[in-house]
Structure 1
């Protein structure tokens, strides 16, 4: 991870939960994708990306999310993104909220996986 982006992950029930803090931008998007790719298991399971503590996201960050969503769609794996007001505003600006399965909070995201 770069200085501008910190991340962690954990198994949360039947899904992998990735949480990030900082900035998801052109400087950190490669590390963001590598971190997730390196920690995904060989067994396909739902991914939840928690961006509720992200300070800034730009088009490169959105591109990385789209790339992950496409991979998950191809594998038939559920993919959800949790965002704060700043992330939600940016995602809605480019009309990607449905494609990225944007969730209002972590509890809602995890609850929708159980359904």
Structure 2
């Protein structure tokens, strides 16, 4: 799992690449815990090839943390395989999901 950070319209964008599963979730969790990630955030999932329940659980926990802090968490650019996991688990109802980063940053 690779994580790249950028900013668009003052919003932090985390671009993930690879798989988000039980093996890689601890790396992403540690990344989130070691830096200041307050404020609104977009997670770009365009390069995520696969997500399992561990990865999904980490995103759900992050969404709850953001919600309790009155901060936005948006997901963007899911491929069909990842989108299907969100639909099957009905986790898509917990997130604001966008087809592109510009749309996520503008809303």
Q: Is the TM value for this pair above 0.5?
A: yes
**Residue correspondence of structure 1 range 28-43 to structure 2 within 5 A:** 28-41=24-37
Q: Give the TM-score normalised by structure 2.
A: 0.91
Structure 2 residues without counterparts, runs of 5 or longer: none
In 1: Cα distance, 2:106 partner to 2:82 partner: 21
Query: For 1:20, which of 10, 16, 19 is the aligned residue?
Result: 16
Q: Does the alignment pair 1:8 with 2:4?
A: yes
For 2:14 and 2:36, locate their aligned partners in 1 and report how far apart those are by CA, in whole Å. Answer: 10
Check if 1:74 corresponds to 2:86.
Answer: no
How many angstroms does 1:98 deviate by? 2.4
- In structure 1, stretches of 5+ residues that fail to align are none
Q: CA deviation at 1:7?
A: 0.7
- SS of corresponding position for 1:97: helix
Provide TM-score, normalisation by structure 1. 0.85
For residues 102 and 84 of structure 2, the distance between their equivalents in structure 1, rounded to whole angstroms, comes to 20
Among 38, 44, 47, which residue is 2:41 paired with?
47
- How many residue pairs end up in the alignment? 106
Residue 47 (structure 1) shift: 0.7
Question: Among residues 36, 61, 86, which one is paired with 2:81 in the alignment?
Answer: 86
1:98 alignment partner, SS class? helix
Task: Give the drift of 1:103.
Answer: 1.6
Q: 1:14 to 1:86 in 2, by over 3 A?
A: same
RMSD of equivalent CA atoms? 1.3
Output the CA distance in 1 between the equivalents of 2:95 and 2:35: 20
Higher relative contact order (CA 8 A, sep 6+): 2
